[in-house]
Amino acid sequence: MTAGPLITFENVWKTYGRGEAAVHALAGVNLAIGGGEFVAIMGPSGSGKSTSMNIIGCLDTPSSGRHGFMGVDAGQLDRGARATLRNRYIGFVFQGYNLLPRTTAAENVELPLIYRGVAARERRALAMQALAEVGLAGREHHTPAELSGGQQQRVAIARAIVTRPTLLVADEPTGNLDTARSHEIMELMTRLNEENGLTVVMVTHEADIAAYARRTVSFLDGRVASDSAALEVA
């Protein structure tokens, strides 16, 4: 890894449409996230938080400005190169779990390893290890229908970390869970951040969930409205 922040936004704009119909989802955002940070991104609907998350996760590119990831200008990479970057360095967790319904927990966790061409025996061993890390040892043969919502999200987290990514991108990871399961998932993500040094960037609209992060960045009208890291420095 190169020296400096893991993720940088330098005057990043994201514009949809043209002329009078143009909408600026991001309007000149500057941001830096270091390796090992746990950052919550908040803001009302239309604030730019989801757009920023998509760019951070290399799912989208800026209209202008620079998105740096591990020292590389990710916004200038073509679709294939960004896919390779995601596969090697980024894990994703979504609100809806996104598990394949007719496959077991272990098979769901193995999916990213299949894309990497990992042999079957090694895939299964790595999947079992990841499931154990999220507290699901013994549940590897259960399908999603046989698991609770909280357990399904644990499977999704195991799938995200099985490749040992540098960055975990979590989009409303507790949005479909009750309060107790939400806090269990956040305690798990906190442990992965603290014990494994995994960088976590999470979008949430819930203040009690954002409180698990060590830093909160709030968006409003496509701009950074507040950044708790800046307050700490001050």
Residue type present at position 224: V
SS3 171: strand
**Per-residue burial over 50-86, b = 16 or more CB atoms within 10 Å of its CB, e = otherwise:** bbbbbbbbbebbbeebebbbbeeebbebeeeebeebb
**DSSP letter (8 states) at residue 1:** -
C-alpha–C-alpha distance, residues 169 and 97, integer Å: 13
State residue 79's pLDDT score: 94
State residue 3's pLDDT score: 54
State residue 20's pLDDT score: 82
State residue 19's pLDDT score: 84
State residue 57's pLDDT score: 96
State residue 1's pLDDT score: 37
Contact 34, 6 (CB under 8 A): yes
Classify domain 7-233 at the CATH class level: alpha beta
Query: What are the extents of the domains in the chain?
Result: 7-233
CB atoms within 10 A of CB 141: 10
State residue 22's pLDDT score: 87
State residue 21's pLDDT score: 86
pLDDT in tens, the chain (234 residues): 345 799 999 999 999 988 888 899 999 999 999 999 999 999 999 999 999 999 999 999 999 999 999 999 999 999 999 999 998 999 999 988 899 999 999 999 999 999 889 999 999 999 999 999 999 999 999 999 999 999 999 999 999 999 999 999 999 999 899 999 999 999 999 999 999 999 999 999 999 999 999 999 999 999 999 999 755 644
C-alpha–C-alpha distance, residues 139 and 155, integer Å: 10
DSSP string, 116-144: HT--HHHHHHHHHHHHHHTT-TT-TT--G
